[in-house]
Structures are given as C-alpha cells and as structure tokens.
Amino acid sequence: MKKSMGIVVLIWIFVLNLSAGWQIKMSDDGRIQEIYFDGHKMALKDNQMHMIMDVKSGDMHILNPVQKKYWGGNINEFAEMIEQSVSESKKMMDSQMEMMKQQMKNMPPQQQEMMKKMFAMQEEKDSAPVKLKIEKAGSESVNGITCDKYEIYVNGELTEKIWLSEDLPFYDDFKEGEFQKEMLKMQAKFEKIAGDINYKTNQSYMELVSSKIVVKAMRKEAAMMGGGGGWSTTEYVSSKEMDVDKFIRLPKGYTQAPLMEVMNPQSKPMPGQMK
C-alpha cells in the first residue's frame, strides 16, 4: 500500500503546474503510465489503475479497467480510508512481529542474538525523526534533456535522486497558479499515512519538485528487518498536446464498488470499512 501511495503522490507532483490539454507518458520501473491533464482536471492511467481527479473540488474516481468497477468520492474520504487501511496493516504487522519474537525464544542463543539486533535496527529506523537534506549534484542529460540533478538525504541516508528541467515541450504551460496551490493542500492530507515517504510533505521538498518539471526520479525502497532496499525509477517518456476530455471523465459501462475491491479485486472489505 505504501509503494502504491508513493507512486500516486510522485505522479501528482509531475503535473503540479500544467495548464493545457496534454498527454504525458511516464515509465514506472518499465511500466508505462499515461497522465491526461486539462485545467484543474487530471487522470492517471495504466493497465492496473485509472484515477480521475478534480483538484479544485477534490472529487475523484478510482477505476479498475479489468473489472470495470469504480469508486467515487472526495479526496478527504480517500485519505481517511487509506489511513484506516494502513493502520489495520500496521496492527497486523505488529502482531506478526510479536509472534516472531515469541518464536525466537526457541531458537539457539546465537540465532536469538542475531534476530534481536535485526529487530533493534528496524525499530530504531522506524522511530527516528525525519531529517531532510537536499543537495544539488550538478547537471546531467536524461534522454537528451538537460537536467539539474538533486540528491535527497533522509536521516543521513541517500533516499532519492531527482532530475529537474525546463527543456520539455509542455514547459510553456508550466506556471504557478490555482492547480499548484490545490495540489499542495491535497498533498498535506496524506502526511499521516505517508509512512517512510513522509519527507515528501516537507516544504523544502515540495518547493523543489514544483520549481521545474521532474524528468526522472529514483527512490530507494524501504528496507525491512535490516535488509537493504532496492531502487525504483519513474521517468518521463514523451508528451503531446491533445484533446483529453474523454480521458478525464468517468467512462460508461462501469459499476460502483467499495474502494478496496476496486484497488484489489481479490480482497473484500471488512464490514463497515473502505466502502
């Protein structure tokens, strides 16, 4: 769930200030995502999910193109539901952790000591306050686009690399305005559920990623139980100006369903949850 939210938040950042009808293609670890934007409305589309949003009203739809189902509501409802789901997941993980600690008592002394160190490292990392440091790391060309490169350090660890540029076809429509302001407000709603990506709600970080177009971003995945995390990459592929009206409207033939069922068709919502 955290990775999914991280991707959604990052994709929103890519289109913070656009103001014309555009189709923008991004690659998320090789998976192509299409962004459609016009005025204060936008849509994010790939083979797994389709999201439509009006940042002015806060209304949004999450669509499952395979199941032909959708959930509709407001960004406040969405944030509350995701927060509830994350909370339930955390309780489950805490319960599993406690079971592992109980099972650890039956392990040989040497293995117990190793497990204790792993638990301690993870707990220390989870409880550490977030300290953000942003460093400019020169200029680089990304797919022929001249970019300024920045490195993001969270609690002293290199966590993200970002390449920013003005050298893109749609940059003329890149300006500060109502869409950016509304998106920044919306971003703040996810502060409680951001988990290991909560540095993205930092004002300095938001000012950086909204200053130009994010051409490429590499983010280190969260490490679990002391193990190292890999890197995920989101990268600009192409863009073209076009009529995007049909992409930013709820399509016909979809039936309404609970949010969890739309986002994960194999699971069913608990009674009273995620509806």
Q: Could you give the number of structural domains in the chain?
A: 1
Distance between CA atoms of residues 20 and 170, nearest Å:
8
Give a yes or no: residue 93 inside a domain. Answer: yes
Give a yes or no: residue 159 inside a domain. Answer: yes
Q: Which residues, listed in sequence order, are joined to residue 152 by a DSSP beta bridge?
A: 134, 160
Give a yes or no: residue 97 inside a domain. Answer: yes
pLDDT at res. 111 = 85
Q: Which domain holds residue 22?
A: 2-263
Distance between CA atoms of residues 196 and 64, nearest Å:
27
Collapsing DSSP to helix, strand or coil, 191 comes out as coil
Give a yes or no: residue 124 inside a domain. Answer: yes
Residue given tokens 């669509």 in the structure block: 63
Does residue 80 contact residue 65 with C-beta atoms inside 8 Å?
A: no
Write the DSSP symbol of residue 7: H
* Residue 236 amino acid letter: Y
245, exposed or middle or buried, with CB in 10 Å at 0-12, 13-18, 19+?
exposed
pLDDT tens string 56-96: 788 999 999 888 999 999 888 887 887 787 778 778 888 88
Give a yes or no: residue 271 inside a domain. Answer: no
Asked whether the whole model's pTM tops 0.85, one would answer no
Give a yes or no: residue 269 inside a domain. Answer: no
Give a yes or no: residue 275 inside a domain. Answer: no
Give a yes or no: residue 274 inside a domain. Answer: no
CATH code of the domain containing 231? 2.50.20.10
Taking alpha carbons only, the member of 66, 79, 48, 64 closest to residue 262 is: 64
Using 50 as the pLDDT threshold, list the residues of the chain that sit under it: 16-17, 176-177, 225-227, 267-275
